[in-house]
Amino acid sequence: MANDYNHEDPDLSYTDPVTGVLRNKLNIADKDALREVEFFCSIKGLARLRDNPVPIKDIDSLFAIHKRIFQEIYDWAGEPRKVEINKGGTLFFTVARFNNAMVFINGLLAEFKSIDYGEKARLSGKLAEILDTLNFFHPFREGNGRAQREFIRTLALEKGWELDLGKANSYAVYVQYMKGSINEDVKLFHELIFKIMKKMK
């Protein structure tokens, strides 16, 4: 897939009709300025999550994580998107079928939780499957990658494993993660996760 996102938002649910900028709590009207402020707000949100993680019970935990990350900048933080998104012409999961996606992901989470903490290959394989599914689900208007990486990190942590796919941890790892995301490559995700997962000391 190409890297260009397209958002079908005929009712301007998220964007200012004059500036074309995402509506935000700080009334920032410049795209570059908003991108920078959003970045710093999300860094603070992620830091708070490291100190006080959201327990992963089911897919609702992903929405709680997104809210924690972006609540300072967007009113809709933690809420499912109301618009369709495609990337390079490939449509992400449609809004009308979100309930189906959530049921399916909850099934994957139950399978993950049933795996013994010592089975690294099975754990990393299931994490890769969950990550790929979350990426296709893409339930938020913005901030999907940051929320899903934190979700996966927390899932691994709850099994006693350290796993960080973020750019701040390793740019090389992040590049490989993005390649897997763009190409919807579960095998690449599995190889990457298995390689960098480490047992907590």
**Segments making up each domain of the chain, as ranges:** 5-199
Type and span of the H or E element at 5: strand 5-8
Burial per residue of 10-35, b for 16 or more beta-carbon CB atoms within 10 angstroms, e otherwise: eeeebbeeeeebbbbeeebeeeeebe
Q: Which of 119, 194, 195 is nearest to 159 (CA)?
A: 119
The amino acid occupying position 160 is G
DSSP three-state, residue 55: coil
**Per-residue pLDDT, 39:** 95
Q: State the pTM of this model.
A: 0.93
Q: List the CATH code of the domain at 5-199.
A: 1.10.3290.10
Phi, psi of 198, deg, nearest 5: -130, 140
pLDDT at 53: 95
The answer to whether 18 and 30 have CB atoms below 8 angstroms apart is no
State CA 127 to chain mean position distance. 13
Query: What was the pLDDT predicted at 56?
Result: 98
Stretches where the chain sits below pLDDT 70 are 1-5, 10, 168
> Nearest-CA neighbor of 161 among 132, 110, 122, 109?
122
